[in-house]
């Protein structure tokens, strides 16, 4: 049964035309990006869990060096932002906020890696499908012309359904890709909010004068 299904699928791909190949390639790339981002986000969540509060507690206890070491070795976006902020201790409040903002933007770009590619695939997959359908329809009508205008219903129907295969596949690839992209974007927004919340926690933890904290570094 499985061999038959594989052969049947291969036959449909062959009948759909050459554009079936790039559409299938788009589906593979989209799935790979989605899976890679899921794994990446899972690691980020585990490494950065509760990090801002721990670093804030260390700073309040006067352990700035320990806090910097802890943040750097967490290997998480939150740790990177906090490490940059700790390095800026001793500067004025505006400079610290600028450092935090730049570090946050940098990590958000890392979190959003390849999401634009995913959005592009969602946009071009149905277009490739439509192009394949148009080319298939042209081919079908060329066959009719070669038949001298004698319309054969079976030939016409066969040419049409084969032409529609690319549109169906393009939509089948685009729809889950759109859902995957929306989900990943929501995850990025959530992590960005966490980075901003961690930054606020850090700033609140600097209760001592900046000069006193800088002496601890």
What's the angle, vertex CA 120, arms to CA 116 and CA 122, rounded to 5? 115
The length of the chain is: 217
- Computed from CA positions of residues 11, 12, 16, 19, in that sequence, does the dihedral angle turn out positive or negative? negative
Instruction: With beta carbons less than 8 A apart as the criterion, state whether 85 and 96 touch.
Output: yes
| Residue with the two structure tokens 């320990």 | 66
- pLDDT on residue 212: 47
Interatomic CA distance for residues 49 and 32, integer angstroms? 26
Q: Residue 176: pLDDT band by 50, 70, 90 thresholds?
A: very high
Q: Give the pLDDT of residue 71.
A: 84
Q: Are the C-beta atoms of 82 and 71 separated by less than 8 Å?
A: yes
Distance CA 213, CA 203 (A): 12
> 167-171, 179-183, 195-199: which has the minimum mean pLDDT?
195-199
pLDDT band at 179 (very low <50, low <70, confident <90, very high): very high
pTM: 0.79
> Each residue of 41-97: pLDDT tens digit?
988 877 777 788 888 888 888 788 888 888 888 888 888 888 888 888 878 888 888
Give the pLDDT band (50/70/90) at residue 151: low
DSSP string, the chain: -HHHHHHHHHHHHHHH-TTHHHHHHHHHHHHHHHHHHHHHHHHHHHHHTTHHHHHHHHHHTT-HHHHHHHHHTT-SHHHHHHHHHHHTBTB-HHHHHHHHHHHHHHHHHHHTTTHHHHHHHHHHHHHHHHHHHHHHHHHHHHHHHHTTT---HHHHHHHHHHHHHHHHHHHHHHHHHHHHHHHHHHHHHHHHHHHHHHHHHHHHH--S-HHHHHHH-
215: pLDDT strictly greater than 70: no
């Amino acid at each position: 049964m499985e061999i038959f299904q594989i052969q049947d699928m291969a036959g449909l791909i062959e009948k759909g035309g050459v554009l079936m190949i790039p559409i299938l390639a788009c589906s593979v790339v989209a799935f790979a990006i989605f899976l890679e981002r899921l794994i990446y986000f899972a690691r980020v969540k585990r490494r950065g869990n509760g990090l801002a509060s721990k670093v804030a507690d260390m700073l309040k206890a006067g352990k700035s060096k320990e806090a910097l070491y802890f943040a750097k070795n967490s290997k998480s976006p939150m740790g990177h932002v906090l490490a940059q902020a700790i390095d800026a201790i001793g500067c004025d409040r505006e400079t610290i906020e600028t450092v935090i903002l730049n570090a946050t933007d940098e990590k958000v770009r890392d979190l959003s890696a390849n999401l634009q590619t995913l959005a592009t695939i969602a946009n071009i997959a149905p277009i490739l499908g439509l192009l394949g359908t148009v080319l298939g329809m042209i081919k079908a009508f060329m066959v009719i012309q070669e038949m001298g205008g004698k319309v054969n219903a079976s030939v016409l129907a066969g040419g049409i359904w084969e032409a529609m295969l690319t549109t169906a596949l393009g939509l089948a690839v685009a729809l889950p890709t759109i859902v995957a992209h929306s989900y990943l974007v929501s995850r990025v927004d959530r992590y960005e909010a966490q980075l901003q919340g961690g930054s606020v926690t850090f700033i609140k933890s600097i209760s001592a004068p900046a000069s006193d904290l800088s002496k601890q570094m």
